[in-house]
């Protein structure tokens, strides 16, 4: 049927809906059931055809038009209640004219006849033809919205519209279609083709509906679940059968782990289908698309298996309402990789996984995601980024520690049962989990979920007092505005023989950067060699630790903490412990040399049990390039003024280290180089920037080039009059102790800027630097 001519009003309405589809679209119908009758034959043509039968329900009174999603496939005709209706199409939508008015809750049938070549997403996902395979990957990571059911059938392509499914897929002889749900008997057609019939009785959003076609055989088994025997199907080509059995040898372990922790598996079956996709897997309901490279006959990719399986609780059973809350799907599934390792291999493997994820988040999240992002509320471009997957999983780890295992897993079961087959937000999760703990989770969510950046626990001192071992430290932050009221910190106390005991403590954290302390009883202080705060096994905060027993001379690379030491002399064996903090060190008043700005990005803490003969050199490499985001805020132009500072402990003042070799890269402006320390010592090392005109001193005169008013400021609010800017600039605001408390990008041609530091900031004064190209403008703001 050809498209009928529409009125100008109808066309204008269609354009309006399309302009608002990603941001403001409100669908006027629900789809209750999809019945997809599709032909996939002659793969070389890379085409499909068929009819989609949709059972729908109107949401409004007086409905006479509605939208469906379909990506670049040609619609031949549409029938509503078996009568032809008018429609119009764009690249991604169909606007259907009902001809007769529908009222709220009216149920109607829709038949959409269509054909064409289904598309792939430019970044990840879509529909693929590859050799003897045809299959969909339900997410389009480069598309808006990222749901990508629309690439192969007409639908409401969002996270909130759920429906049940039938699949009737016709293939050439010798091929098999495997879909979501349970298999019904196949139909042998007169022309030699075969129609494969599947039915899914649970309601799901469109992006996790699946079809995969190849010369499959099914490896069938079952799992004795909490409520029933659950069918298990592995679909692979015959040549991969033996490898599949070996690769999924711990699938039953994963099922037991997740049912024990989260409650019963509620879908028709457990299914994995092998596909030649080289960029990961996809959690399609009952039929996980699993890359052939992971069907390797070994357990190499078993955490990938666990990740995708866990989505049947986190993402399929309960689904995020919006793409910006994708951590509710992917962060939790990423966490389930570590949980699977704990269930199967023990707590040490769990901790190792968490440590690995923490390194990835601290080192790479801001690089890959183009800056620091919150876990919830991520921009569309970072929907499937490192903050969502890796940091999101770490925040689940933090929540578990804060609540304790019994409360945490009881909350998981309650939440999943309450919202089963529904969509949710982060606040829904927070509110349900709050029922299972007396700790106020609002503070935790505001800090760890809704705010960007991270907190860092820094050891300060330990001393014996009143029969107890009093441990003191400081909480610092990186790009964070909100501080959680409670933190679970693990204190590692190392004895002089190298043994360690870990003491977990829940501490009341300050509302901003500041001190913490707690007492550990029954410690023989004479045996204590050193103390490490939150050494990789506590809450995932802003540091990574690595240690080695050094028994011979030579180069030792501490890759986790981006540090290299070369042992020149040792005597016997020494334990060298390095903690890399991704935050500024705590600095009290008068602990910095004049005219030095200290890095707010990172520093190293060196501890250990070293022999008297121990001597080593060490490299501290700096990298201010944007592709690393390690030192790019400190190094704004030339490297000439860079320095390395050292202090024996946080109780001491920093001094510029002079016993070293300073090696810039090929250029003094490429922001890459190293400090080669000739004699490594216990203590703290941090990069700094020496500038004779930039000393942080309350008596510095205000630079009239950068006018600040009112000055002094009573409320923390002030205005900055800007010089003429022909390019984007950056404004940095430092407190009187040298802490970078605000960084703000300033657009070109802007004449003034309003800043609000908040009334809680209690610095005696603030030091401002405006950086544009190779120029800097400075001012001092007094605070009353």
Higher per-residue pLDDT: 264 or 509: 264
pLDDT(4) > 60: no
Q: What average pLDDT does the structure give for the chain?
A: 91
Radius of gyration, alpha carbons of the chain: 30
Higher per-residue pLDDT: 43 or 18: 43
pLDDT(52) > 80: yes
User: Which of 613, 633, 477 lies closest to 541, judged by CA?
Assistant: 477
Handedness of CA 538, 539, 542, 544 (dihedral sign): positive
Higher per-residue pLDDT: 79 or 463: 79
Confidence of residue 43 (pLDDT cuts 50, 70, 90): very high
pLDDT(679) > 90: yes
Q: What is the pLDDT of residue 742?
A: 80
Q: What is the pLDDT of residue 14?
A: 37
Q: What is the pLDDT of residue 19?
A: 37
What secondary structure does DSSP assign to 200-256, as a single string? EEEEE-GGG--EEEES-EEEEEEEE-SSSEEEEEEEE-GGGHHHHHHHTTTHHHHHH
Q: What is the pLDDT of residue 559?
A: 95
pLDDT(773) > 80: no
Q: What is the pLDDT of residue 8?
A: 31
Q: What is the pLDDT of residue 764?
A: 65
pLDDT(694) > 70: no
Which range (114-128, 185-199, 419-433, 501-515) has the least confidence? Answer: 501-515
User: Which of 623, 631, 625, 585 lies closest to 604, judged by CA?
Assistant: 585
pLDDT(231) > 90: yes
pLDDT(615) > 90: yes
DSSP run (H or E) holding 454 = strand 454-465
User: Which of 341, 338, 489 lies closest to 401, judged by CA?
Assistant: 489
Q: What is the pLDDT of residue 328?
A: 98
The whole-angstrom separation of Cα 304 and Cα 334 is 9
Confidence of residue 774 (pLDDT cuts 50, 70, 90): low
Q: What is the pLDDT of residue 29?
A: 97
pLDDT(85) > 50: yes
Confidence of residue 759 (pLDDT cuts 50, 70, 90): low
Higher per-residue pLDDT: 725 or 180: 180
The whole-angstrom separation of Cα 211 and Cα 232 is 17
Confidence of residue 698 (pLDDT cuts 50, 70, 90): very low
Which range (57-66, 282-291, 373-382, 665-674) has the least confidence? Answer: 665-674
The whole-angstrom separation of Cα 442 and Cα 376 is 14
Q: What is the pLDDT of residue 739?
A: 67
Q: What is the pLDDT of residue 708?
A: 81
pLDDT(70) > 60: yes
Q: What is the pLDDT of residue 274?
A: 98
Beta carbons of 443 and 451 less than 8 angstroms apart? no
Query: How open is the CA angle 449-453-459, to the nearest 5 degrees?
Result: 110
Q: What is the pLDDT of residues 565-594, one digit of tens each?
A: 999 999 889 999 999 999 999 998 889 998
Confidence of residue 736 (pLDDT cuts 50, 70, 90): low
Q: What is the pLDDT of residue 760?
A: 61
Task: Report residue 725 as tokens.
Answer: 């800017």
% of the chain surpassing 70 pLDDT: 93
User: Which of 445, 457, 560 lies closest to 504, judged by CA?
Assistant: 457
Q: What is the pLDDT of residue 737?
A: 62
The whole-angstrom separation of Cα 195 and Cα 172 is 9
Q: What is the pLDDT of residue 23?
A: 43
Q: What is the pLDDT of residues 330-341, one digit of tens each?
A: 999 999 999 999
The whole-angstrom separation of Cα 194 and Cα 208 is 24
Q: What is the pLDDT of residue 776?
A: 72
The whole-angstrom separation of Cα 542 and Cα 532 is 14
Q: What is the pLDDT of residue 770?
A: 84
Q: Model pTM?
A: 0.87
361-377 average pLDDT score: 95
Higher per-residue pLDDT: 701 or 220: 220
712-729 average pLDDT score: 80
pLDDT(356) > 90: yes
480-499 average pLDDT score: 93
Q: What is the pLDDT of residue 762?
A: 65
Q: Could you tell me where the beta strands, DSSP code E, fall in 479-526?
A: 486-495, 500-508, 514-521
Contacts 24+ apart (CB under 8 A), 373-379: 373/452, 374/449, 374/450, 374/451, 374/452, 375/327, 375/331, 375/448, 375/449, 375/450, 376/324, 376/325, 376/327, 376/426, 376/449, 376/450, 377/324, 377/325, 377/450, 378/324, 378/326, 378/327, 379/324
pLDDT(482) > 50: yes
């Amino acid at each position: 049927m050809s498209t009928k001519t529409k009125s100008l009003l109808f066309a204008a309405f269609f354009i309006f809906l399309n302009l608002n589809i990603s941001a403001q679209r409100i669908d006027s119908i629900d789809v209750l059931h999809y019945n997809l009758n599709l032909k996939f034959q002659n793969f070389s043509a890379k085409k499909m055809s068929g009819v989609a039968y949709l059972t729908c329900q109107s949401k409004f009174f007086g409905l006479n038009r509605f939208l469906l999603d379909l990506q670049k496939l040609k619609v031949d005709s549409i029938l509503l209640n078996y009568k032809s209706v008018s429609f119009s199409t764009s690249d991604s939508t169909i606007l259907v004219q009902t001809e007769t008015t529908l009222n709220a809750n009216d149920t109607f049938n829709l038949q959409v006849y269509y054909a064409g070549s289904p598309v792939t997403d430019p970044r990840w996902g879509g529909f693929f033809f590859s050799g003897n395979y045809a299959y969909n990957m339900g997410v389009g990571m480069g598309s808006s919205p990222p749901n990508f059911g629309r690439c192969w059938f007409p639908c409401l392509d969002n996270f909130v519209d759920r429906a049940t499914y039938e699949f009737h897929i016709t293939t050439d002889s010798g091929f098999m279609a495997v879909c979501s749900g349970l298999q019904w008997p196949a139909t042998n057609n007169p022309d030699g083709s075969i129609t494969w019939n599947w039915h899914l009785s649970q309601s799901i959003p469109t992006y996790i509906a699946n079809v995969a076609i190849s010369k499959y055989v099914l490896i069938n088994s079952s799992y004795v679940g909490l409520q029933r025997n659950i069918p298990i199907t592995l679909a692979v080509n015959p040549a991969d059968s033996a490898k599949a059995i070996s690769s999924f040898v711990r699938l039953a372990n994963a099922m037991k782990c997740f049912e024990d922790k989260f409650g019963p598996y509620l879908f028709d079956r457990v299914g994995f289908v092998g596909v030649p996709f080289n960029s990961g897997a996809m959690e399609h309901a009952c039929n996980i698309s699993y890359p052939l490279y992971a069907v390797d006959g070994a357990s190499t990719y078993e955490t990938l298996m666990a990740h995708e399986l866990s989505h049947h609780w986190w993402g399929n059973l309960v689904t995020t309402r919006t793409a910006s809350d994708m951590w509710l799907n992917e962060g939790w599934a990423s966490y389930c990789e570590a949980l699977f390792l704990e269930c199967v291999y023990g707590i040490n493997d769990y901790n190792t996984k968490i440590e690995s994820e923490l390194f990835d988040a601290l080192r790479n999240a801001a690089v890959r995601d183009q800056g620091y992002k919150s876990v919830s509320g991520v921009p569309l471009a970072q929907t499937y980024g490192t903050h969502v997957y890796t940091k999101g999983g770490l925040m689940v780890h933090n929540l578990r520690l804060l609540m304790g295992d019994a409360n945490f897993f009881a909350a998981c079961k309650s939440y999943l049962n309450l919202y089963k087959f529904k969509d949710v937000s982060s606040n829904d999760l927070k509110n349900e989990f709050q029922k299972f703990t007396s700790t106020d989770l609002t503070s935790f969510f505001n800090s760890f979920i809704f705010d960007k950046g991270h907190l860092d626990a820094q050891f300060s001192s330990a001393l014996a007092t009143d029969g107890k071992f009093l441990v003191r430290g400081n909480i610092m932050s990186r790009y964070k505005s909100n501080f959680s009221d409670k933190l679970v910190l693990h204190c590692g106390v190392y004895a002089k023989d190298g043994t360690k005991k870990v003491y977990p403590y829940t501490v009341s954290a300050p509302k901003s950067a500041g001190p913490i302390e707690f007492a550990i009883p029954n410690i023989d202080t004479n045996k204590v060699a050193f103390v490490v705060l939150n050494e990789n096994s506590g809450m995932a905060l802003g540091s990574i630790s690595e240690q080695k027993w050094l028994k011979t001379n030579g180069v030792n690379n501490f890759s986790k903490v981006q540090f290299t030491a070369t042992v020149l002399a040792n005597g016997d064996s020494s334990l060298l412990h390095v903690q890399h903090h991704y935050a500024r060190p705590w600095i009290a008043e008068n602990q910095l040399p004049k005219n030095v700005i200290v890095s707010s990005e990172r520093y190293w803490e060196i501890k250990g049990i070293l022999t008297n003969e121990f001597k080593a050199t060490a490299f501290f490499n700096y990298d201010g390039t944007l592709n690393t985001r390690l030192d790019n805020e400190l190094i704004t132009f030339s490297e000439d003024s860079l320095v390395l500072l050292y202090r024996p402990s946080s109780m001491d003042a920093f001094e510029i280290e002079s016993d070293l070799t300073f090696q810039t890269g090929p250029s003094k402006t490429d922001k890459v180089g190293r400090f080669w320390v000739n004699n490594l010592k216990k203590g703290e090392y941090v990069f700094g920037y020496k500038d004779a005109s930039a000393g942080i001193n309350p008596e510095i005169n205000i630079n009239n080039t950068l006018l600040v008013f009112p000055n002094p400021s009573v409320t923390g609010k002030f205005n900055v009059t800007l010089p003429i800017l022909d390019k984007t600039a950056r404004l940095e605001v430092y407190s009187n102790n040298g802490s970078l408390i605000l960084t703000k990008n300033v657009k070109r041609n802007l004449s003034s800027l309003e800043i609000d530091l908040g009334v809680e900031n209690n610095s005696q004064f603030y030091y401002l630097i405006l950086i544009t190209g190779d120029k800097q403008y400075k001012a001092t703001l007094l605070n009353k």
